[in-house]
Structure 1
């Protein structure tokens, strides 16, 4: 199968731009350099790499995430450590000062309590956000991207953040909430994106525009099942795009992972030979497999207890805990006791997100950091880390791993290696969303360089 839009997705930008025949020398684009702060597994870096950027460095406090980052970006300098310490900060600045673009998603823990503080950036709980701003201030790249939770735009702090990121007027800012599903990612995932470009470049930071599918399509419950519907007659064309397996502008869960249905609950092996899998059934699956060798990694499947299987069998594809009968909402359905109980004898709020099933004809729910955040649409089983990665738009050659050292490590988050792999992918920025953003950054920065070359 050949995707009609596939050919352009992972191409790097043209190496040169030929303007009108004015006698001036041709402007040659150079490969713009990127440093990724708070990089995690590297979703932003992967997207910028796919857009033709050179990833020269990435940093994170978590040694497990850094092991994944180093394995997938071997040419980049991976910096493990807390950016608030002088040694790590100096190491980051050493590479950041050579970057054209700085990207990152610093945790911002206290934006909802900003009314209790004079400035968001002054709150000690937001020290990582402050480090991002100060790194941009010190390195002064041509452009930067900061991503964060969309709630920041609704808590009265957006103007504060834009003011902080303007670096005393040195940068022009654009801020917009983008949903990954509108950029070919088979998952709804909203992120607030800040795009800053240095004012002396005299270009405007423009955001990418996507399909708009998330505002035009939805799931409707019909008796005991769910169906995908358009919100108006005018939106019928987007439904056609969704159903077209050759169309990469909007992608369903089945188009993302149907070739992996052979994987069974309790599977312990972390790899599988490509020959054991079905042939790609969509352009998206072809795209994800591009560059893959003979083996697919991250395909072990968690075991599930009997209670969970019984409940999932009662939840239709696209459904959730609301589809359970009162009998199935009893905390324990068998003599097996697992997980916390709240004393009521019933499922609690903590379980409500644990019984969501994908719908094959729709993009996926927003993933979180746990394996039970969503279940398969066709089989009562958990998703693999690879299926998490597919729903996030990480290519199949991107391998998720952990630091091989055992026990407690500085920066390591407890929970074990398996949980770390799900968390790394669940926390990431979808690479296809990052790539769409990166292409706008490339246009802006290279247009400024082109103009400078003509002067």
Structure 2
């Protein structure tokens, strides 16, 4: 039974929605997105543009008038999803509850909204740091709401679900107790445990090569990774090769697909579906001469460790740029930035900065569209900012370009969200069938 069978289409409300990665995944799985909320006006501009069918609620959920709108929407939905920010990971041994820490007020708002709306299913996602700080059991206890929900927690890696990026997330999936539903557990490909990138040093310069574990499943996954027509595991090259012609310093933020290479992989064809004739978010940051020299010396998959001593100097060509740490050498901040993708493996976890990753084939940073590709956002998904200028409540510093990178880099990968949504859909459909059978039996 599909989500829309018999006129039934489960409704979703997305809290702390950001650009809408969770919502996009649930929409692709057949759910109806009825509302999304966030405090960031730029992220909500993106959300509004891509989910015109949904109510967008801009503002701090702790404000009564905003909370009232959210609750009105959530009480009409079967599914509540969200990734509330948690600034403090209180440890159990400190006898301090996460939900009681004032720095975790937004997490508490998610739990309170869940308790008031009582949807059939909820999904809460967050960083795996929660696990590392030993608070999983605290969160499970909070989300169970004294037995009203059955909840399971699981760490998943997006690359195991067809996303061309390794990105681990901690998922909490809960179902209303007494419904006969079970909180689903996701099962991915296992690719991230089977394939790795190894560094080899030789006579000339280091190189990076894919290493596949020597057992049958890993060998099959290695074959899938090398197959451009497979969607089981996807590489950075399979995600981005049709966009390689974008150049550093490009100012035009749109281009016609006709001016790009044809899709060269199954993943690129999937991303292009429904995108029309024009591709957006293709501006590329400028490149200074020092950075270009370093990138030319770094092999695919490499980083600052592969630079010769002369290229570790803070200013190579004599032109001063950026902050000077006074040491005459690159700082740790810059070390972190000089990383090049490898075309035969997925990307590492993106962050919110344009210089957190560089192209594998040309000496340049990535466009927001290429960030979006590595996150599995389809090409029809457009990243925008609020047209109002200057400081706004909830707006992050850095300007429109930085905001779009931030939105893309912070998002939940839609293909991962879709896998979650399909598992949730199976439970909801089975529940509805049981309800209909009981009703027919009288």
In structure 1, the residue matched to 2:181 is 203
Q: Does 1:49 align with 2:27?
A: yes
In structure 1, the residue matched to 2:264 is 281
User: Once the 2 structures are TM-superposed, how far is the Cα of residue 203 of structure 1 from its aligned partner?
Assistant: 1.6
Among 44, 47, 50, the residue aligned to 1:69: 47
User: Once the 2 structures are TM-superposed, how far is the Cα of residue 207 of structure 1 from its aligned partner?
Assistant: 1.9
Among 141, 146, 165, the residue aligned to 1:187: 165
Further displaced range: 335-344 or 393-402: 335-344
User: Once the 2 structures are TM-superposed, how far is the Cα of residue 338 of structure 1 from its aligned partner?
Assistant: 2.0
Q: Does 1:445 align with 2:428?
A: yes
Deviations for 1:57-108, whole angstroms, at most 9, x for unmatched residues? 0000000000000000001000000001111111111111101000000001
Q: Which runs of 4+ in 1 moved over 4 A?
A: 112-117
Among 121, 137, 148, the residue aligned to 2:115: 137
User: Once the 2 structures are TM-superposed, how far is the Cα of residue 344 of structure 1 from its aligned partner?
Assistant: 2.2
Residue aligned with 1:103, SS: strand
User: Once the 2 structures are TM-superposed, how far is the Cα of residue 113 of structure 1 from its aligned partner?
Assistant: 5.5
**What is the 5 A alignment of 1:369-448?**
369-448=352-431
Q: Does 1:127 align with 2:101?
A: no
In structure 1, the residue matched to 2:145 is 167
Check whether the contact 1:320–1:355 (CA below 8 A) recurs between aligned residues: yes
Structure 2: distance between partners of 1:121 and 1:15: 37
In structure 2, the residue matched to 1:259 is 242
Check whether the contact 2:2–2:429 (CA below 8 A) recurs between aligned residues: no
Deviations for 1:13-42, whole angstroms, at most 9, x for unmatched residues? 3644xxxxxxxxxxx361100000000000
Deviations for 1:128-187, whole angstroms, at most 9, x for unmatched residues? 000000000010000000000012112111100000011111000110000000000000
User: Once the 2 structures are TM-superposed, how far is the Cα of residue 236 of structure 1 from its aligned partner?
Assistant: 1.3
Structure 1: distance between partners of 2:24 and 2:433: 26
Further displaced range: 110-119 or 264-273: 110-119
TM-score by length of 2: 0.96
Q: Does 1:80 align with 2:35?
A: no
Structure 2: distance between partners of 1:161 and 1:15: 32
Structure 2: distance between partners of 1:14 and 1:430: 21
Structure 2: distance between partners of 1:142 and 1:113: 30
In structure 1, the residue matched to 2:2 is 13
Residue aligned with 1:352, SS: helix
Unaligned runs of 5+ in 1: 1-11, 17-27
Residue aligned with 1:200, SS: coil
User: Once the 2 structures are TM-superposed, how far is the Cα of residue 232 of structure 1 from its aligned partner?
Assistant: 2.1
Structure 2: distance between partners of 1:288 and 1:85: 38
Check whether the contact 1:148–1:191 (CA below 8 A) recurs between aligned residues: yes
Change (3 A) 1:114 1:305: farther
Q: Does 1:100 align with 2:78?
A: yes
TM-score by length of 1: 0.93
Further displaced range: 171-180 or 332-341: 332-341
In structure 2, the residue matched to 1:454 is 437
Aligned residues: 433
Unaligned runs of 5+ in 2: none
Structure 1: distance between partners of 2:147 and 2:319: 61
**What is the 5 A alignment of 1:206-245?**
206-222=184-200, 223=202, 224-234=206-216, 235-245=218-228
User: Once the 2 structures are TM-superposed, how far is the Cα of residue 367 of structure 1 from its aligned partner?
Assistant: 0.4
User: Once the 2 structures are TM-superposed, how far is the Cα of residue 348 of structure 1 from its aligned partner?
Assistant: 1.9
User: Once the 2 structures are TM-superposed, how far is the Cα of residue 393 of structure 1 from its aligned partner?
Assistant: 0.2
In structure 1, the residue matched to 2:16 is 38
Structure 2: distance between partners of 1:29 and 1:118: 47
Deviations for 1:210-246, whole angstroms, at most 9, x for unmatched residues? 1100010001123332111102243211110001111
Structure 1: distance between partners of 2:3 and 2:121: 20
Among 276, 285, 288, the residue aligned to 1:302: 285
Structure 2: distance between partners of 1:13 and 1:299: 36
Structure 1: distance between partners of 2:90 and 2:325: 28
Check whether the contact 1:13–1:51 (CA below 8 A) recurs between aligned residues: no
In structure 2, the residue matched to 1:352 is 335
